C-alpha cells in the first residue's frame, strides 16, 4: 500500500523524520558541566569508567557552552555566580536541556544565606531535578535518562500562556523497599 511495499524489507527501515532526529539527539547528549561543589565530584565519577556515562552517549563533556546541549548545574550557585550561569545558558545553542543536580542547585540546600541562590530554577529554566546531597552517580544517570525521555516526547505540550506543561515523568524506584527495622526493646521486659 505505502512505501513499505515497494522497498525491500530486509535492508531498509522506515520511520518518521523527527523520530530519527530525536534518536540522534537523545543518544548524543553533550553535557556542559557547571560543577561548583561536591556534586561535581559525583559528576566526574559518573563520567568515569565505573559508571560510564558513555553507555548513554553523554560522555563528551564540553567545557564550551557553544558545543554542548545539556547543562548540568552541579552544586550551589552564589548570587555573584548567577550571571555567569545565565550567560552560559544563553550561549548554548538550541535545542538545550538543563539538569539541576543535587539539593543545593535545586533549592539552595543547607546554604540558606544571603549570598546563595535558593534554586537555580528561579532564574533559568530547569528540565530535570536530581535530588541528593550529593546524588549518587546512579541518580544522575537516571536524571540523564529522564532528559532522554523528554527528548523522546518532543513537541512538549504548552498551556495557553506559553508555559510548558509538566511531563509527569517522575521516576519510580526500581527496587523493593526493604522492610523497616523491627522494634527492639532494651533490658528486661
List residues binding another protein (CB under 8 A). Answer: 79-80, 82, 86, 89-90, 92, 94, 112-118, 122-125, 162, 164
Q: Find the shortest distance in angstroms from Cβ 13 to another protein.
A: 33
Q: Find the shortest distance in angstroms from Cβ 80 to another protein.
A: 5
The residues that bridge with 128 in the sheet, in sequence order, are: 99
In terms of CB distance, is 18 or 122 closer to another protein? 122
The SS3 of residue 44 is: helix
d(CA 17, CA 51): 32
In terms of CB distance, is 44 or 82 closer to another protein? 82
d(CA 39, CA 75): 5
Cell of 51: 559508571
Q: Find the shortest distance in angstroms from Cβ 108 to another protein.
A: 9
Q: Find the shortest distance in angstroms from Cβ 156 to another protein.
A: 10
Contact, 99 vs 73, CB < 8 A?
yes
Contact, 106 vs 75, CB < 8 A?
no
Q: Find the shortest distance in angstroms from Cβ 65 to another protein.
A: 10
CA dihedral 70, 76, 80, 85 (to 10 degrees): 0
In terms of CB distance, is 83 or 131 closer to another protein? 83
Contact, 96 vs 125, CB < 8 A?
no
In terms of CB distance, is 78 or 145 closer to another protein? 78
In terms of CB distance, is 125 or 131 closer to another protein? 125
Amino acid at each position: 500500500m505505502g512505501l513499505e511495499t515497494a522497498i525491500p524489507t530486509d535492508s531498509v527501515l522506515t520511520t518518521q523524520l523527527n523520530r530519527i532526529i530525536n534518536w540522534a539527539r537523545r543518544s548524543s547528549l553533550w553535557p556542559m558541566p557547571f560543577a561548583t561543589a561536591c556534586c561535581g565530584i559525583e559528576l566526574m565519577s559518573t563520567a568515569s569508567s565505573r559508571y560510564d556515562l558513555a553507555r548513554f552517549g553523554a560522555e563528551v563533556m564540553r567545557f564550551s557552552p557553544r558545543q554542548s546541549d545539556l547543562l548540568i548545574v552541579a552544586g550551589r550557585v552564589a548570587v555573584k555566580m548567577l550571571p555567569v550561569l545565565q550567560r552560559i545558558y544563553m550561549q548554548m545553542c538550541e535545542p538545550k536541556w538543563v539538569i539541576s543536580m543535587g539539593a543545593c542547585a535545586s533549592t539552595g540546600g543547607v546554604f540558606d544565606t544571603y549570598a546563595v541562590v535558593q534554586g537555580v530554577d528561579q532564574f533559568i529554566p530547569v528540565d530535570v531535578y536530581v535530588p541528593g546531597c550529593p546524588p549518587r552517580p546512579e541518580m544522575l544517570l537516571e536524571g540523564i535518562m529522564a532528559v532522554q525521555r523528554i527528548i523522546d516526547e518532543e513537541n512538549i505540550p504548552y498551556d495557553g500562556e506559553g508555559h510548558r506543561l509538566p511531563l509527569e515523568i517522575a521516576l519510580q524506584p526500581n527496587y523493593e523497599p526493604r522492610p523497616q527495622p523491627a522494634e527492639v526493646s532494651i533490658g528486661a521486659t
